[in-house]
Amino acid sequence: MNCPKCNQPVEPGAAFCGNCGQPLQANSAPPATPTVSPPQPAQQAQPVQPQQSAPVVSAPSITSQNTPQPAQNGSPVAQVMANQATAPAAPTPNFNSPVVGTVGAGTNVPAYAMPNTAAAGHSGETRAIVGLVVGVIGIPAALLPIIGLILGITGVVLGTTARAKYKHLVSLLAIIFSTLAILASLGIWVYNVQRIEQARGGVGSSDTSSSGSFKAVSTPCYDVKIDGGLNNYQPSGCSFDSASADKEYTVQAMVKPEVTASNLSQYGPTAMQAGAQAVNGTVDSGKLGQFAGSPAYIANISAANNQHGIFALVLHQSANQQNVFLVAHVSKSSSVSDFGNLEKYWQWK
């Protein structure tokens, strides 16, 4: 038995044509010969336009292209039955859907659109651990200040960047230990520079030893070191005088009970004038100050032959009753602004 509409074979007793959906009359006389439409050529399935409502996913037809397709005006019920009769294929997702096509819309967000928080946390943890190790190593490495500084700065950078993603105690410890490494390196660096300058005759001193060595001068009132290039340094009591081709150190100890801390500012200028006349010079300026921890009146002196010096009248009570010391440092080759090694190595007895 064939369908009177599409002329396709149908099973006996069927109520509808499985191909076009034409209603059939079962158990009755054959109807009048209907007008049979010529078979329609196979047509490509038209794409379903997306609707405003929830998208409809259509299953692809597995009918051969040589098989005539159902008429466009067939019964909807027959079309549904025909679709159910064919083998359903896996539904094809509609990527034009606003739920799937928009990242972050709804709850069905693709996995590739989610931030990889696990990877970020792992990266921060690794940086924190490496920064902590570098900071701990940098503390003993500060004995070599340059290496300690490099390790300390590296640890601070790693700990800081790690703490932005991995707020954990490890990252905080990395910053702390690395900072300690930097401070230790800077401290040792400064200490080494000071030691080197001391070996050269003092930091910022205008009086350095040309020979790189010192001579010790010991008196009943004080002990001091002077440059190795100076001669005639043997003391006489608490006084001594030493000189070289371009510099001179002189200390004269006196007993002046009338000089006290209250009148030092008046007695000092008179003593400075006398000292300047001894070297054929004049007093440029004077003020109260200290020498080796004791009160003093200090003045700058200009002398003949372009000599410059600094004098101090120092008030200090020694064990042998001497209480006033006239200390002079004169240079013939450069300007003098301090007492240099004379005050640096001075120790009262």
Look at residues 200, 233, 258 and tell me which one is the last residue of a structural domain: 200
Look at residues 166, 200, 234 and tell me which one is the last residue of a structural domain: 200
* 171 plus 233 within the same structural domain: no
Q: How much is the pLDDT for 115?
A: 53
- Among 32-46, 109-123, 199-213, 264-278, the range with the most confident prediction by mean pLDDT is 264-278
Domain that includes residue 141, residue range: 121-200
Residue 198: pLDDT over 60: no
Q: How much is the pLDDT for 325?
A: 93
Interval 327-347 mean pLDDT: 83
Structure tokens at 44: 């490509």
pLDDT range class, residue 213, cuts 50, 70, 90: confident
Interval 267-294 mean pLDDT: 87
Asked, for residue 273, whether it belongs to a domain, the answer is: yes
DSSP state of 140: G
* 251 plus 332 within the same structural domain: yes
Asked, for residue 38, whether it belongs to a domain, the answer is: no
Nearest CA among 38, 37, 56 for reference residue 48? 56
Q: How much is the pLDDT for 202?
A: 38
Asked, for residue 251, whether it belongs to a domain, the answer is: yes
Interval 317-328 mean pLDDT: 85
* 295 plus 179 within the same structural domain: no
Asked, for residue 61, whether it belongs to a domain, the answer is: no
Crossing angle of helices 117-138 and 169-200, in 10° steps, is 30
Asked, for residue 63, whether it belongs to a domain, the answer is: no
Q: In the 3-class helix/strand/coil scheme, how is 253-285 assigned residue by residue?
A: EECCCCCCCCCHHHHHHHHHHHHHHHCCCEEEE
Mean pLDDT over the full length of the chain = 75
* 144 plus 248 within the same structural domain: no
φ/ψ of 299, rounded to 5, equals -140, 145
Look at residues 148, 171, 200 and tell me which one is the last residue of a structural domain: 200
CATH of the domain at 268: 3.40.1000.10
- Work out the widest C-alpha separation in the chain, in whole angstroms: 159
CA distance 80 to 74: 11
Nearest CA among 209, 212, 170 for reference residue 342? 209
* 224 plus 290 within the same structural domain: yes
Residue 229: pLDDT over 70: yes
* 224 plus 306 within the same structural domain: yes
Structure tokens at 204: 């910022």
Q: How much is the pLDDT for 282?
A: 87
* 226 plus 342 within the same structural domain: yes
φ/ψ of 242, rounded to 5, equals -140, 145
Asked, for residue 58, whether it belongs to a domain, the answer is: no
pLDDT range class, residue 340, cuts 50, 70, 90: confident
* 246 plus 329 within the same structural domain: yes
Sequence-distant (6+) residues with CB within 8 A of 140 are: none
230-268: b or e for each residue (b if 16 or more CB lie within 10 Å)? beebebeebbbbbbbeebbbbbbbeeeeebeeeebeebb
Q: How much is the pLDDT for 62?
A: 40
Do residues 312 and 327 touch, judged by C-beta distance below 8 A? yes
The domain tally of the chain equals 2
Residue 98: pLDDT over 50: no
Structure tokens at 265: 């500012």
* 195 plus 218 within the same structural domain: no
CA distance 302 to 289: 19
Which one is predicted more confidently, 54 or 280? Answer: 280
Query: What three-state secondary structure class fits 314?
Result: strand
pLDDT range class, residue 167, cuts 50, 70, 90: confident
Distances, alpha carbon 109 to alpha carbons 56, 91, 115, in Å: 20, 19, 11
* 308 plus 248 within the same structural domain: yes
* 249 plus 181 within the same structural domain: no
Residue 175: pLDDT over 50: yes
* 167 plus 260 within the same structural domain: no
Do residues 313 and 266 touch, judged by C-beta distance below 8 A? no
pTM of the model: 0.41
Interval 219-227 mean pLDDT: 89
Specify whether the backbone of 199 is left (phi greater than 0), alpha (psi in -120 to 50) or beta.
Answer: alpha
Query: What three-state secondary structure class fits 217?
Result: strand
Residue 107: pLDDT over 90: no
Asked, for residue 89, whether it belongs to a domain, the answer is: no
Asked, for residue 2, whether it belongs to a domain, the answer is: no
Least confident of 28-42, 191-205, 217-231: 28-42
CA distance 311 to 272: 7
Give me the DSSP letters along 47-109.
Answer: PPPPPSSS--PPPPP---TTSPPPPTT--HHHHHHHHHHSPPPPPPP-TTSHHHHSTTSSS--
Q: How much is the pLDDT for 348?
A: 92
User: Which residues lie across from 330 on neighbouring strands?
Assistant: 248, 309
